[in-house]
Each structure stands twice: as C-alpha cells, then as structure tokens.
Amino acid sequence: MTIGELLRQAREILGADKFFEGQLLLEKALEMPRDLLLAYTDQEAEASKEKAALDFLNQRAAGRPLQYLLGTANFMGMDFQVAEGVLIPRFDTEILARRALEIIGEEKFTLADICTGSGAIAISISVSAPQTQVWASDLSPQALAVAQKNNENLGGRVSFLQGNLLEPFLAQKMLKKFDLIVSNPPYITTEEMAELPIDVKNEPTMALWGGDDGLFFYRKLAKDCPRLLKDGGSILLEVGYKQAQQVKKILEENDWHDVCFHKDFQGFQRVVEAKYIKM
C-alpha cells in the first residue's frame, strides 16, 4: 500500500473523529514524521511497516488505548512511558501537579505521592522543583517499574516504595516527615465502572475502582495521612467531578481544616486541598 492508501484506511477504520489518532499511529508504525506522511502519500510503505500500521489501527478500533499503542502519554510537557497495567496520565491531573508546585514555591519541601502509577505527578514535581525531596508509592510492581524508567529518562530524583497506600512509609517509620502529600487515588464507583468507555476499561481496574461509592481511598487517606504529615502540612487529592463536597466532608470529619477546591479546565472541582492542624 502507499502511504496515501494507509491514510484512507485510517479514516475508514477509525472514523473521521479519530483520524488524527490514526495519523499518530501511522507515524509510529512507518517511522516517519506526520508532516512527511502527508507530503509523500504516493510512497509505497514497506510490507512489514504496512502490517504494523494496520495492526495498530485495528487494535485502536477494538478499544486499546491510544497511549498504550504509542507507548507514551504527555503530562506537564513531558512524554511519560506507559504500558499495559499502568494508569494513563490525564490532562486534568496537571491541576494537582501545578497546585503542588505553587504550594512548594522555593521551599525545600518533602513530598509523598500516594498511588503514583506512571510517576507522572511525582516526577513532574521533582523535575520542576529540584529542591524538593519526593517519595512515591504504588501497590503495583508493574507500575513502579514503569515509574522508575520515567524517573531515569526524565531526570527526576524520586524515591519509590512498593506497597499499599501509606504502608511502605509506615514500615520505614517515616512519621511526621512530609510537608505535603498528594494523591490521585482510584475513585470510580461500581456503577460508573460498568459505563466506562471501552478504552478506559482496558486500563487496570485497581487504578480506577474506588469501591462501591468511589470514596474508599479518601476515607483511608483522610484517616491515616496525619501520621506522615508534619503539623500544619497539606494534602492535595484529585477527585471525581461529582465528589468534591463528599471528600470535603470526609476530611473535616477527620480533623482536616481550611478545605478548598481547585477547578479543572471544564469548571469541575477536580482537586481538594486541606491542612492538618492538630487541635
């Protein structure tokens, strides 16, 4: 096939609304920049690359996430490696990372990122605020392996621990160590899990499902994080678009103060911020 024929296949297989995704997949499969793809439409594609291109297009049509096929996802202007079994970083999560950087400023903070996944939050903070000592944890060894690679590739200086939520920090007796704790925990409800788009369902369930009401991890973090935070330390939590008020209530019931919200680009309250002040 010529490149032009493959481009037409991309439009037919994925539809006009995902034609740009098709171009990205052809760019990867044919190992040719997108602008050259569009300029050399009469050029014949190598047979092996043609096969790879069609395979990519068919996998995407079947619901495999684009980022898994490309092998990367952009976050805070950096390309993070992603792979099967690792949550794909979302644009909305940049709200949390940017707010963390505002809080840190020029201070020499110590920060923990709980449920780090690909390491996107922790590494972007480490790169942008190199004076900050950043630790990150995840239950999934597969996710941590990807996060370690991203840390090396992108110049982060994050220390990673494997384990469930705060357990690896508590095991190392890191009590009252952190100025700031951040987390994008699983928060999809059982009902919402059944309604997710097929490509999202291809991401790891353990990184998405937050219990029947989606609030399981917020209850755990609200209760346990004060053991790790210095007095007056803060927490930043990404939440589902309808969960901010519920998470605020959970935090206040656990003696957190000064609860406030930060909106995403669609105007939803996406990040909940609070301080822990022992009364």
Structure tokens at 175: 């009590």
Burial level of 231, CB count in 10 A (0-12/13-18/19+)? exposed
Q: Total structural domains in the chain? A: 2
Do 25 and 97 lie in one domain? The reply is no
Q: What is the pLDDT of residue 279?
A: 66
Identify the burial level of 30 via C-beta atoms within 10 angstroms of its C-beta, where 0-12 means exposed, 13-18 middle and 19 or more buried. buried
251: pLDDT strictly greater than 70: yes
For the segment 149-160, what is each residue's pLDDT rounded down to a tens digit?
999 999 999 999
Instruction: Give the range of the structural domain holding residue 40, as residue numbers without chain letter.
Output: 3-62
130 & 45 share domain: no
Identify each DSSP E strand in 163-243 by its residue range.
Answer: 178-183, 229-238
For residue 233, the model assigns a pLDDT of 96
Q: Are residues 85 and 101 in the same domain?
A: yes
User: Residues 276, 259: contact at Cβ < 8 Å?
Assistant: no
Calculate ∠ Cα 229-278-169, nearest 5°.
Answer: 20
The Cβ of residue 16 has, within 10 Å, a number of other Cβ atoms equal to: 9
What are the residues facing 73 on neighbouring strands? 80
8 and 134 in a common domain: no
Domain boundary at 62, 85, 100, which? 62
Task: Please check the confidence at residue 173 and state whether its pLDDT lies above 80.
Answer: yes
Torsions phi, psi for 231 (to 5 deg)? -60, 130
Same domain, 52 and 75: no
Rounded Cα distance, 245 and 274, in Å: 13
Q: How far apart are CA 246 and CA 65, in angstroms?
A: 30
pLDDT confidence tier of residue 38, bands split at 50, 70 and 90? confident
Residues 212 and 187 occupy one common structural domain = yes
> What is the pLDDT confidence band of residue 112, given thresholds at 50, 70 and 90?
very high
34 — pLDDT class (breaks 50, 70, 90): confident
Q: What percent of the chain has pLDDT over 90?
A: 94
Quick one: tokens of 234?
């803060």
> What pLDDT is stored for residue 7 in this prediction?
94
Same domain? For 58 and 77 the reply is no
Cβ-based neighbour number of residue 205 at 10 Å: 10
Residue 56 sits in the same domain as residue 74: no
Cα Rg of the chain (Å, integer): 21
pLDDT at 275: 96
CATH of the domain at 146: 3.40.50.150
Within 8 A by CB and 6+ apart from 226, the residues are 254, 255, 276, 278
